[in-house]
Structure 1
Amino acid sequence: MTARPDVFGSVRLGHLVIETNRFTDWRRFGTDAIGLHHDDLSRDLMRFRLDDHACRFLLRRGPAEDVVAMGWHLDDHTTFERIEARVRAHGVPAVAGTAEEAGLRGVERLLRFPGPKGITQEICTTPVLATDPLTMLASGWVTGDPGMGHVALTSTRPALTRGYFSTVFDARLTDHIDETISGVKLRIRFLRVNERHHSIAVAAVRGLPVDPVRTRVQHLNIQCQSLDDLARSYRRVHELGFDMALSIGQHTNDRELSYYARTPSGFEWEVGWNPVVVDEATWEPGTHQGISVWGHTPVGQTVIDRLDRFRLGARSLLHREKTVPALSGAKTPDG
């Protein structure tokens, strides 16, 4: 049997779609606190930019208060067609985006299909470059070939979630972290689709099929160009009264210096600086104990907050996590 072409290295996280009714708070959070460029498209649509791409975050009005779609930018139409073929070969429905939907995301070609936890996955080619200059408080963000950052999910079915990204995007395991938070043991697996240390992190409670997070996404990450940008955005988050989830600290595995703010929709937004870059010739997956070398201390967490996590975990036992079994198991050749 002929091995299927590997798309690893031709894929990068390109955009995210967020559904929210809290446009005013999100505009202040993204623009005035984090320091992004923003464009109001209409009463129901807003975009944030990080670089010369016309869209990195598309916010649309709706009740989810969550990330509802993840967009993956691909190197070329050949990679697009390979991924489309493997999705369809597994019997999973895929829908071509309209010209309007592609335009809102700042891409020329768009395909959507189901993803883990009910998060739609979108593949795209040919990002549209904005003609207007950036107007933002940050000096810049690291994007380019590795993509714009990463997304972290909590899962009660982590093997299926990891299998999905391996099947669709040929994701590779970078490393693991074992951590205990409030007496709960977690294992976090970090997956990469290019030289960025990880584009997806999957956290699971060890020994219990519970999910302590309300939102589909636990956090998203973007990367500052400078340490000054990190420090200044951290100060602005505090001064503007937004909740800080974790103070500045440094991770054990990717060595990224970062903090975590809580977004108006409830999931967390990590702003980081200077993570390691994976060298495919020498990298070996390992296991780290604890998420941080130092810092990342919970800010303002109360007993009520901890009880809420236990309540959400118990509630998750009553609802089976959405998965895409056809794309979460053994790989098959492209169609």
Structure 2
Amino acid sequence: MNTYAKTSVFGAVHLGYIVIETDRFADWRRFGTDAIGMHHDDLSRDLMRFRLDDQECRFLVRRGPAEDVVATGWHIDDHAAFERIAARLRAHGVPVTEGTAEEASLRGVERLLRFPGPKRITQEIYTTPRRSTEPLRMLASGFVTGDSGMGHIAITSTRPTRLRGYFDTVFDARLTDYINETIGGIKLKIRFLRVNERHHSVAIAATRGLPLDPIRTRVQHLNIQAATLDDLAQSYRRVHELGFDMALSIGQHTNDKELSYYARTPSGFEREVGWNPVVIDESTWEPSTHQGISVWGHTPVGQTITDRLAQFRRAGLSLTRREETVAALSGAGVPDDQGRGPVPTRCRRVPPISRPRR
């Protein structure tokens, strides 16, 4: 195998941007700017971006029917680490597509590569994000990005071991800890994976003993980190006052100690805004298991019994669809998480990005 593929890239990988597809542009603009407090730029009738800092793009929103996250972008520190990851993908027979100049420009990056990801979320890696000289226009005083990346992504899965294997193979992700939680009689096990000093850049939640995925969307939530406690409190107030749905009230997590709340986005998945999580010290950290998601708070807001029944109906539907895990990168030949035997190693190709209407 190529030497590039063997050398660890841990620490050189940072969550850099998210691509969202939606037809609810007006709601997303209002949610992002007036509620959460981010900087907003309109690019065309079918494209807009949000900024958290001087990087040109942290959220690229394009018009389309998915109402979901369709891609995640990972900032790779240098060209050597970028080549290591690319070599791994090719060594495993995974199709890799080089992004066009237009695609890279929309994301404000250089050297863009795209490849299949779990749950049909295209993964993208890039180097050298472009910095904007335009002053930030946002209600928040700032957000924490830098070496920790822009936050984290949380997904539900019926194949959590395979998803962990995917991020280990591609990014040398490390297990930070686990949380065991019971919600409405359903037992959950959540794995938290890190690729740098941030406590986790990926969280993977699975129902224990049941092959159910209770979430309609590909992601359960996205997290960004407020710079100050006041920023957190003020955005929480704005979400309420502007009439957006609050999923979970302010609370504190057991594992990363982050203070946060969860608002429901116009597309249906949740946006967590957090403050002051722990930063991992690699010399001392050992994985552990926590009982329960929260030390206090994070109580459901406005959820009715009808909402709970609808969630269980959606979970039941997940039994009829096969979850994409990109087996070639996830430990092919190893029995899956439900004990059903090996998963075929065939990989889907990354679909081309459809050009927006002008």
With structure 1 as the length reference, what TM-score do the two structures score?
0.98
Partner of 2:266: 264
Q: Which amino acid aligns with 1:133?
A: P
- 1:217-228 counterparts in 2 under 5 A? 217-228=219-230
- 1:53-132 counterparts in 2 under 5 A? 53-132=55-134
SS of structure 2 residue aligned to 1:317: helix
Report the Cα distance in structure 1 between the residues aligned to 2:74 and 2:43, rounded to whole angstroms: 22
Report the Cα distance in structure 2 between the residues aligned to 1:43 and 1:326, rounded to whole angstroms: 38
Q: Which amino acid aligns with 2:116?
A: P
SS of structure 1 residue aligned to 2:311: helix
Partner of 1:18: 20
- 1:283-322 counterparts in 2 under 5 A? 283-322=285-324
CA offset at residue 131 of structure 1? 1.6
SS of structure 1 residue aligned to 2:168: helix
- 1:1-335 counterparts in 2 under 5 A? 4-329=6-331
Q: Which amino acid aligns with 2:259?
A: L
Aligned residues: 330
Report the Cα distance in structure 1 between the residues aligned to 2:30 and 2:191, rounded to whole angstroms: 33
Could you list the per-position Cα deviations for residues 216-273 of structure 1 after superposition, in whole angstroms to 9, with x for gaps in the alignment? 0000000001000000000000000000000000000000000000000000000000
Report the Cα distance in structure 1 between the residues aligned to 2:218 and 2:317, rounded to whole angstroms: 14
Report the Cα distance in structure 2 between the residues aligned to 1:184 and 1:76, rounded to whole angstroms: 43
Report the Cα distance in structure 1 between the residues aligned to 2:111 and 2:23, rounded to whole angstroms: 28
Could you list the per-position Cα deviations for residues 99-122 of structure 1 after superposition, in whole angstroms to 9, with x for gaps in the alignment? 100000010110000000000000
CA offset at residue 329 of structure 1? 1.4
SS of structure 1 residue aligned to 2:235: helix
User: Which runs of no fewer than 5 residues in structure 2 stay unpaired?
Assistant: 333-358
Report the Cα distance in structure 2 between the residues aligned to 1:81 and 1:4, rounded to whole angstroms: 11
Report the Cα distance in structure 1 between the residues aligned to 2:93 and 2:111, rounded to whole angstroms: 22
Report the Cα distance in structure 2 between the residues aligned to 1:83 and 1:12, rounded to whole angstroms: 13
SS of structure 2 residue aligned to 1:315: helix
CA offset at residue 322 of structure 1? 1.0
SS of structure 1 residue aligned to 2:141: coil
Report the Cα distance in structure 2 between the residues aligned to 1:226 and 1:121, rounded to whole angstroms: 30
Report the Cα distance in structure 1 between the residues aligned to 2:117 and 2:310, rounded to whole angstroms: 27
SS of structure 2 residue aligned to 1:81: helix
Report the Cα distance in structure 1 between the residues aligned to 2:199 and 2:174, rounded to whole angstroms: 10
Partner of 1:333: none
Could you list the per-position Cα deviations for residues 174-211 of structure 1 after superposition, in whole angstroms to 9, with x for gaps in the alignment? 00000000000000000000000000000000001110
Partner of 2:342: none
Report the Cα distance in structure 2 between the residues aligned to 1:173 and 1:76, rounded to whole angstroms: 24
Report the Cα distance in structure 2 between the residues aligned to 1:45 and 1:218, rounded to whole angstroms: 23
Q: Which amino acid aligns with 2:224?
A: I
User: Which runs of no fewer than 5 residues in structure 1 stay unpaired?
Assistant: 331-335
SS of structure 1 residue aligned to 2:281: coil
CA offset at residue 41 of structure 1? 0.2
Could you list the per-position Cα deviations for residues 146-171 of structure 1 after superposition, in whole angstroms to 9, with x for gaps in the alignment? 10000000000111111000000000
With structure 2 as the length reference, what TM-score do the two structures score?
0.91
Report the Cα distance in structure 2 between the residues aligned to 1:323 and 1:227, rounded to whole angstroms: 37
Report the Cα distance in structure 2 between the residues aligned to 1:197 and 1:167, rounded to whole angstroms: 19
CA offset at residue 55 of structure 1? 0.2
Q: Which amino acid aligns with 1:309?
A: Q
SS of structure 2 residue aligned to 1:145: helix
Report the Cα distance in structure 2 between the residues aligned to 1:50 and 1:140, rounded to whole angstroms: 7
SS of structure 1 residue aligned to 2:145: coil
SS of structure 2 residue aligned to 1:186: strand
SS of structure 1 residue aligned to 2:111: strand
Report the Cα distance in structure 2 between the residues aligned to 1:309 and 1:167, rounded to whole angstroms: 32
Report the Cα distance in structure 2 between the residues aligned to 1:71 and 1:261, rounded to whole angstroms: 22
CA offset at residue 63 of structure 1? 0.2
Could you list the per-position Cα deviations for residues 51-103 of structure 1 after superposition, in whole angstroms to 9, with x for gaps in the alignment? 00000000000000000000000001111111001001100000000010000
Q: Which amino acid aligns with 1:221?
A: N
SS of structure 1 residue aligned to 2:28: helix
SS of structure 2 residue aligned to 1:38: strand
Partner of 2:355: none
CA offset at residue 323 of structure 1? 1.4
Percent of aligned positions with the same letter in both sequences? 79
Q: Which amino acid aligns with 1:63?
A: P
Q: Which amino acid aligns with 1:287?
A: T
